[in-house]
Amino acid sequence: MPEIQLGCHTVRSHGVQVAKVHMHDWLILLVLAGIDLGLNLIEPFHRFVGEDMMTDLKYPLKVNTVPFWSVPIIAVLLPLAVILVYYFIRKDVYDLHQAILGLLFSVFITAILTDAIKDGVGRPRPDFFWRCFPDGKGVFDPTTKDVMCTGSKSVIKEGHKSFPSGHTSWSFAGLGFLAWYLSGKVRAFDRRGHVDKLCIVFLPLLIAALVGVSRVDDYWHHWQDVCAGSLIGITIASFCYLQFFPPPYDADGWGPHAYFQMLAESQNRDESSSNNANSLSVQPAELTSIYVQPHNGAELSRGNSGDTNSMLHGHENGRRHPSIGCL
């Protein structure tokens, strides 16, 4: 596909058309957002935590290095800013729309999987003791030896959501999608061996990894939680990117599937129109040739017919070539 065609489709010219085609996808996103909200409201599973298990759960209760409110900024707004910058450079609404859609699907699907597993597993955080007993005095059931928490219910509820790490999964979902997106745009796998392109691709992944490390340093998560969250995020990001874009190593890896599908449909319509016009133009020449044939100018009429067809073919080729520039 000729890349010169990119830039002919803006939000003003094709935005409504593209949005209508994917209206059901936006509705699904709203459903996913509602599901994730519900998962955050329900009470997670409270697994048994015995007195002898508290040894590994007495890490200090610290403030988040990466606050909760900053996660959407890192995972959504930062990749979105890069996508918007690319749109203002190339002016292609197909790339803009598909990239935003893929990014949001990546984040919301990851959020649902993460929160569902959190609620189902109910693993205590490393600082669970101080969440459960803020005064430092442990209280346990005399029979089962299970904890009998005396702290705030909201703090205790959050203390049962250690596995997997939501900060990490969100970060790898959004920034992992951005890494895929950048790898296609800079043609990181064009077989020319430019390592600087890989540095651009790995930068978002480094930021996501540092977010995961902060969760262990703050004693909000075990290292297994962070590893699981990163795997969930990068896996979902990969699936969502490949749903909307070709692989970065593909010859057409710089653009979305929808863009090339639109080009193919436009070319088919142009070819169909050209063929119809060609058939209508050729018929009079054929009739003239048949009419003139009984006279002595048969050879001349055949020659004229051939010349007419050659002119038509030349005209047809001339029409197809300019259509490559902008559809």
Q: Which of 9, 160, 167, 222 is catalytic?
A: 167
Amino acid symbol at 312:
L
Least Cα distance to 289 among 279, 297, 278, 280 occurs for 297
Write the CA distances from 157 to 119, 132, 160, 162, 176, integer angstroms. 10, 10, 6, 10, 29
Least Cα distance to 170 among 69, 22, 63 occurs for 69
Active site residue 167: yes
Alpha-carbon distance of 309 to 317, in angstroms, equals 12
Q: Which of 221, 313, 315, 321 is catalytic?
A: 221
Alpha-carbon distance of 242 to 84, in angstroms, equals 20
Q: How many C-beta atoms lie closer than 10 Å to residue 30's C-beta? A: 10
Active site residue 321: no
Q: Are 252 and 190 in contact (CB under 8 A)?
A: no
Give Cα 154 to chain centroid, integer Å.
Answer: 33
* Complete DSSP assignment for 245-267: S--TTSTTTTS-HHHHHHHHHHH
Cα-Cα-Cα-Cα dihedral sign, residues 303, 305, 311, 316: negative
Cα-Cα-Cα-Cα dihedral sign, residues 295, 298, 300, 302: positive
Please list the active-site residues: 167, 221
